Chain A
Amino acid sequence: MRNPLYPAVAIGVGIVVLLGYFLQIDLLVNVRIMFLEWATILVGIALLVGVVNLLIVHWNKITSEHPNRYNSMALLGGLIFTLLVVGYFGPTDEVSVWIFNYIQIPIEASLMALLAIVLIYAGVRLLRRKPNLLTIIFIGTAVVILLMSGPLFGIDIPGLAELRIWIGKVPAVAGARGILLGISLGVIAAGLRILMGSDRPYGEN
């Protein structure tokens, strides 16, 4: 039999936090603030738990002679080095910023840069199969926006700049608004399922 304590806690604190959006009662507001502060602390602890779990998993890979143990060594080396150095000097110290500037940013920015090539490749292959109307609209929109995002060597194609502005303000806004409304409805549905106890994603099993 599932423990009723967990959904009771989730529903109880959830209702207090949710009611605070609509009711401005002093006691409710104070309790809500307290609940929210505790939640932020717990999420921070959860992040630490995740890092410790990462450490354990890759340590086990190294000690068990997993085929990818060298990758795990690189991961653990980076993790421990960063923890020690940044932990000692502080996150905003020059040394920490040095590690950030010359290790994390080059890797992450290069990964993002690869995406540029991959996206062009994907755009080219999109027309490989017989394109339908939607594909043409998609590619056409992307090309117009791309051409008018940059300076285009100073060439001024009449109407293209206005077209770009119109696309960004009207049809793209329409589609995005529909998507945003859909997302918000989905979020509400998912949240209500949790607050009604139908969904229990807190590891009850």
Chain B
Amino acid sequence: MDEIYCPLCGKPNPVGNKFCEYCLGFLDNQENNSIDPGFTKEEETRDSGGEPMADEQHPEGSGDIRDPDSRDQFTEEDKGLGLELPAADSYDWMPGSSSNVESDQDDISPISPFVGDSEGDDSGEIPSWLNDALEDESSPETLEFEEPIEVSEQPLLEEEQEIKQKSPGKLESAGPLAGLSGVLSAEPGVARIRKPGAYSTKIRVSENQQEHVKLLQSLLEDEGQPKPLPRKSPISQQHVLRWGIAIVLLLAIFWSVLFSEDQLALPVYDEGSAEVNRLINQLPDNARILVGIDYEPGLADEIDTTAVPVFNHLMSQGGLLTLISTSPNGPILAERFLHSGRLEYEYINGLDYTNLGYIPGGAAGLISFIENPQGTTPFSIDGFSVWDSESGEPLPPVVGINQINDYDMIILLVDDPDLARIWIEQLSPIITDPLTLSSLVLVTSAQLEPVVRPYYESIPQPVNGLVVGLRGGAAYSRLIGGDQLPGKFWNAFGMGTFIAALIILVGGLAYYVVPELSRTVRGQEKVN
């Protein structure tokens, strides 16, 4: 036979091996081990001679400690030895009990690590293979422990002496069972404690790996050290572009303001402006006009310039104005607009117009004014009683006004989309009421056109007229004739919009095309 089979794991091992290569179990090189055990319970329990296998420490064939029934075999003699029987659920492995243990072949555990000697091993003598194993065990190379635990050299106790006499088996010299004889050894594979092989603590590292380690180390070291930020150029490409745009635009506007003489043509027709013109023409004499001033000082130039022709037309019709605002700057802007000198008519406070001031609260304030103008704004911004003046009569601009739809027209000067929306929303039920004679006209900044036009274009129409931005004011100016719109303003506006469109088109294309071209050239250079 070339191979022997390990009794523990069943794997084949070359003949001559003492220990299994796989589980380090003890290999019996006798003939029996050449047979694949093909473990069965019954085979385990019987040796080759059909005799029950004997525990190596208990040649009398003591019960296997793993068999719970065998515990009962430990008799009173065990007790006499001073060995109290352990609890029923604990194993009684004291050697002294072995002499009285009758082997119960039926109770022997089917699993036994030990293959019985073919010659039988009931004599109590240590079998030769075990002897060899024990000799191996005692050899210094195989001992797991470098220093055996020292056995006490004090005189043995009486019990211990009795144990020694009665159990002449080999005394255990190491471990927690030192001094006891007849100790069952652990499975050979585990008991084959051996000195561990000496291994080098140095890691086997190849040169390539060492290079990688050095690289990683340098990276980690760099992380801890702050690196100076790259110096930012004070003048970047974006700065240059911004300055270029500013210079070109300012030069164009300056040139237009300083050197353009004739006013360029005003827009021919604007539907919204034409509608406002028609509505104002239809106003009765001394019409009551409610003017909402709701724009910011930043856009005062645009709104004022756009509104001048409209208000000139309105004032020429004799309209009396009631000024109101939902922003704190509104009252001052209203005063400024009326007394700026740009209007053809000089209106007198209290006679031709009254400034009711500021209504806080946005939509809530507007509703309050719409539903109860007298209660919401009893006084003007100057502190005069509007609705019940000293003479007992209301001021001329508010004569006959009890509710909002008593006004002949509502004009809103606005630059904010949200404010415009709030005004239109709150006035919409009144304006769209078929019984109402009031109309709502918006004079807005150009940025509002997309937002207010849906209201103007809808049916029913909550916004009856729309003058949008400088273009709308220019169209209105053309409608009523005269120099309503400053020529320099209109010319500069045309120049500015043209230059802006040109810069966006040309500059944007250049910004896109030039990097693409350079990228293509670089790519071709790489290929070449």
B395 CB → nearest A CB, Å: 15
The reply on A52 being an interface residue by CB < 8 A is no
In the bound complex, do residue B332 and residue A173 qualify as a contact, i.e. CB atoms below 8 Å apart? no
Enumerate B477-502 residues with CB–CB distance to A below 8 Å.
490-491, 493-498, 500-501
Known pairs A105-B300, A120-B245, A124-B504; A177 contacts B264 (CB<8 A): no
Enumerate B232-286 residues with CB–CB distance to A below 8 Å.
241-242, 245-246, 249, 264-267
Contact with B along A150-185 (1 / 0, CB 8 A): 111110000000000000110011011100100100
Bound: A176/B458 CA distance, A: 12
In the bound complex, do residue A47 and residue B328 qualify as a contact, i.e. CB atoms below 8 Å apart? yes
The reply on B182 being an interface residue by CB < 8 A is no
The reply on B73 being an interface residue by CB < 8 A is no
Stretch of A61-69, A70-78, A95-103 lying at the B interface: A95-103
The reply on A56 being an interface residue by CB < 8 A is no
Bound: A90/B380 CA distance, A: 12
Chain B, Cβ-Cβ closest to A126:
B508
Most chain B CB neighbours (cut-off 10 Å) among A92, A105, A117: A92
In the bound complex, do residue B297 and residue A180 qualify as a contact, i.e. CB atoms below 8 Å apart? no
Instruction: Identify whether the interface residues of A are mostly helix, strand, loop, or mixed.
Output: helix
Contacts of B301 in A (CB 8 A): 109
Known pairs A121-B241, A154-B265, A173-B450; A92 contacts B335 (CB<8 A): yes
In the bound complex, do residue A168 and residue B449 qualify as a contact, i.e. CB atoms below 8 Å apart? yes
Partner of B382, one of A36, A92, A105, A180: A92
Bound: A154/B503 CA distance, A: 20
In the bound complex, do residue B331 and residue A91 qualify as a contact, i.e. CB atoms below 8 Å apart? yes
- Chain B contact residue count (CB 8 A cutoff): 67
In the bound complex, do residue B453 and residue A172 qualify as a contact, i.e. CB atoms below 8 Å apart? yes
Enumerate A17-49 residues with CB–CB distance to B below 8 Å.
17, 29, 32-33, 36-37, 39-41, 43-44, 47
Enumerate B374-431 residues with CB–CB distance to A below 8 Å.
375-376, 381-382, 421
Contact with A along B335-363 (1 / 0, CB 8 A): 11001000000000000000100011110
Known pairs A112-B299, A127-B508; A172 contacts B450 (CB<8 A): yes
B378 CB → nearest A CB, Å: 10
The reply on B296 being an interface residue by CB < 8 A is yes
In the bound complex, do residue A96 and residue B332 qualify as a contact, i.e. CB atoms below 8 Å apart? yes
In the bound complex, do residue B364 and residue A40 qualify as a contact, i.e. CB atoms below 8 Å apart? yes
Contacts of A47 in B (CB 8 A): 328, 360
Bound: A125/B507 CA distance, A: 8
Contacts of B297 in A (CB 8 A): 100, 104-105, 108-109
In the bound complex, do residue B501 and residue A146 qualify as a contact, i.e. CB atoms below 8 Å apart? yes
22 A-B residue pairings within 8 Å (CB atoms): A37-B376, A40-B360, A40-B368, A43-B365, A44-B360, A92-B332, A108-B298, A116-B500, A117-B246, A119-B500, A120-B249, A124-B504, A124-B508, A126-B508, A139-B508, A142-B504, A146-B504, A150-B496, A150-B498, A154-B265, A180-B451, A183-B421
- Nearest 10 CB-CB pairs, A to B? A127-B508, A150-B494, A151-B264, A36-B368, A108-B298, A151-B494, A112-B298, A43-B360, A150-B497, A124-B507
